[in-house]
Amino acid sequence: MDRAIIEIQKVFKLFNEEKTQLALGNNFEYIYFKSFYFIENFKDNQTDFSNVNNSFIQNSIPDYEILDIGCSQVLEGKGLQANDPFTDLGVLGFYTLFEYFNYSFIERQTKHSVSINENRGALDKITFKNNFKGDEVTYYNFCMYT
């Protein structure tokens, strides 16, 4: 866990004040540590989940790739702002990622024909509610048009 604390401190140093406040208000620390744990424990062992005490992962092995992509982006601080959203997840993958974090979908707002990094697509602003504590978080996801 000490390494995770050092790594999240590095990420926060890259944030400006606005992004720091968004992170603190959107339970980013919890989401970051859960992502860090996933990447550290499963990155090099994609198929052997037999001794994992996490029913979500055991029952969703095909979703491993989505979790890998999404958790990796969390570690980069993605998704907190419209100009730096999650990518390469699709809408269902985005929901899957937040289910792993114990959040359920509440509301989705979509802007169409948005340009991000010279790609056009739809930008979703999605609010989720924590299944245990009840707090709400809002994150952004970009789905590139094909």
User: What percent of the chain is predicted at pLDDT more than 70?
Assistant: 86
Q: Considering the entire predicted model, what is its pTM?
A: 0.87
Q: Residue 22: which H helix or E strand, with range? A: helix 17-25
Query: Where do the structural domains in the chain lie, given as residue ranges?
Result: 2-144
- Contact criterion met (CB below 8 Å) for 99 and 56: yes
Facing residues of 103 across strands? 130
Distance between CA atoms of 131 and 135, rounded to whole angstroms?
8
In this prediction, residue 62 has a pLDDT band, given cuts at 50, 70 and 90, of low
pLDDT in tens, 71-100: 999 999 999 999 999 999 999 999 999 999
> What's the farthest any 2 CA atoms get from each other in the chain?
44
